[in-house]
Structure 1
Amino acid sequence: MDQAALLVDTVCRLAGSEDLISAKSNRLRQAILNHDTPQLFKQLLEAFSLQGISDHAARSYMDHHDSPAWHDLQRATSLSPACSKLRSYWSFHGCGYRKDGRTCAEPGIACRCSLPQHDLRNGRLNQTTYSLFLFIRDVAGGNLVEWIDQTLDQASLNGTARYRVSRMRRALIDPLRNVFGVSDKLLNMALADILMAAPSNKLTWLEAGSGMIAIDTLVHNFLLRTGIQRRLGVQHRFGPACYGTGGCADIIARIAPRIDASQYNPGYPRIFPRFVQHALWRWCAQLELGICNGNNIDDRFRCDNKGCPLFHRCERVVLND
């Protein structure tokens, strides 16, 4: 763990963001204060759309196509929908809509269904849009802020203080994981932006948001290449195991208390797992520092980038042997 913390601390010093809370934070904070569910729905939907292709390509598509708003879906489901799957969150499963073939599980009524009428990038996003709307409407009672408040308050009180942040994170992630088409990575990224934009009196929001850890292939491969996974005896394939016991998220959560994030921004909490994870991502991402990724390293061989500040401490494990 000492070696792992040394490597990660070096990355944080070189790639740690001093302004991790997004430029949207003021608007989000106002939405939270106003219990503005439509705005928070829009924020989550934009985040969930960043999958399958590059962020730039996804945002470019969204810039040139209208996305359905909360009120659009309210109108579409206010009367009995043509498809029974759209009547509640619990009945929305097995939709199967595909944009390319204009097909779904109920082709006989597809022409009267509102779901295919939105020109999203692919049919999975149409399903995600309705699934998220129905979750907020039916499970969260139409008030996302109140649902988050209640969920975090309950989770923070049940159990020991040691696992408080982990409990709060799971209390939000576990039910939302059943929204169609969203992964743990997307949920952690999207919720972190919202929770960390909360006003200062919402301490549980800020605490849970700082603990949201999003694992993608870049972060997973960094922990593998550097030998951190091997040293800690937790080598695993990229996927659900990254969020399991001893997985990538767990590794970062264990390293974070050894790195004082407040030295990068006095407004940051001292223990800030999200900051640590984001620094690792920036270290690897092609459009950020781009040091440790498959575009610069031939994964059939050990990394030979002697200019990397970690070179002499990194185990340079072969990714594809």
Structure 2
Amino acid sequence: MIETFNFQGISDRVAASYLQAHGSITWHQIKAQIGRDPACSLLRSYWAYEDCRYDKTRQACSHPRYLRGCPVPSHPLRNGRLNQTAFSFFLFVRDVAGSDLFRWLDDQLAAAADLGNSAAQEALVGPMRHVFGVSDKVLTMTLSAVLMADRRGRPDWFDVGSRMIVVDRLVHNLLARAGILARSGANHGYGQHCYGQAGCADILRRVSAKIDARQFDAGFPANFPRYIQHALWHYCAADGLNVCNGNNIDDRKSCEQISCIVYSICGRNALKIK
């Protein structure tokens, strides 16, 4: 999960290259470094770890007298925020999940079992929302991958993970350019509205319900919202098919990529008003 948290605020290619060159950070490394009574009070519990402000470039933090012996800067992650994220997540797993993240996931899903998929997703994302430096989007993406990792052994996990939708700017802009948001009466700016009523996530779930994903892989569930969302992202992403994105389309005017397979049915809306 920590490795996945690295894929935010920068291109996937750059994040992957940095991880390959410098490595990540592990549970056992942090556990050995923190010990039982760390000098810095921030590291003593998940609830105490706030306002650390470790800055890798400036080699500074909010408790400079402890910086020399602090374990937070000792790992060569891409920036100081990621170092803080790693330690904040470790403390969450240790103190909130009792050092057993799988059991915590089981307990959270069991508590929300009768409340629907949205409640199950919130039961996981909600408590983790306060882990330093991790957005809802990245949390949802990461948890979805974890929950879908063992469909045979944990079918209930897979069911929740397969329905988790991550709306990034690429997917939102595709829905806007294609005229789907306008035809659905759901025009909105990118952000929290994407997850609201009639927002991007809601539209994608309705679309997914009309597409039998088993036509792409017989092992898929018939309704697979996460796959449909990821396919749209792949269509747009520079590291994917690289078709519908701001590098190829001038957002001030209608798309002119006549070779696009959906050109004839696309709304070709400009994202920016001249």
Q: Whose RCO is larger (CA < 8 A, sep 6+)?
A: 1
In 1: Cα distance, 2:189 partner to 2:96 partner: 33
- Alignment equivalent of 2:73, drawn from 116, 121, 124: 116
Contact residue 45 and residue 95 of structure 2 kept, 8 A: yes
Corresponding residue number in structure 2 for 1:79: 36
Corresponding residue number in structure 2 for 1:315: 267
**How many angstroms does 1:77 deviate by?**
2.1
Corresponding residue number in structure 1 for 2:255: 303
Q: Which amino acid aligns with 1:300?
A: R
Q: Which amino acid aligns with 2:182?
A: R
Corresponding residue number in structure 2 for 1:233: 185
Corresponding residue number in structure 2 for 1:204: 156
**How many angstroms does 1:144 deviate by?**
0.8
**How many angstroms does 1:139 deviate by?**
0.8
Corresponding residue number in structure 2 for 1:40: none
Q: 1:121 to 1:203 in 2, by over 3 A?
A: same
Corresponding residue number in structure 1 for 2:214: 262
In 1: Cα distance, 2:55 partner to 2:16 partner: 21
Equivalent pairs counted in the alignment come to 273
- Alignment equivalent of 1:176, drawn from 128, 137, 149: 128
Contact residue 12 and residue 239 of structure 2 kept, 8 A: no
Corresponding residue number in structure 2 for 1:288: 240
The alignment status of 1:193 with 2:145, answered yes or no, reads yes
In 1: Cα distance, 2:261 partner to 2:3 partner: 35
Corresponding residue number in structure 2 for 1:142: 99
| SS across alignment from 1:190 | helix
**How many angstroms does 1:271 deviate by?**
0.7
Contact residue 153 and residue 204 of structure 1 kept, 8 A: no
In 1: Cα distance, 2:210 partner to 2:55 partner: 47
The alignment status of 1:61 with 2:13, answered yes or no, reads no
Corresponding residue number in structure 2 for 1:152: 109
In 2: Cα distance, 1:205 partner to 1:267 partner: 16
User: With structure 2 as the length reference, what TM-score do the two structures score?
Assistant: 0.96
Moved more, 186-195 or 242-251: 242-251
Corresponding residue number in structure 2 for 1:271: 223
Moved more, 288-297 or 84-93: 288-297
Structure 2 gaps, min length 5? none
Structure 1 gaps, min length 5? 1-43
| SS across alignment from 2:263 | coil
Corresponding residue number in structure 2 for 1:129: 86
User: With structure 1 as the length reference, what TM-score do the two structures score?
Assistant: 0.82
Moved more, 305-314 or 147-156: 305-314
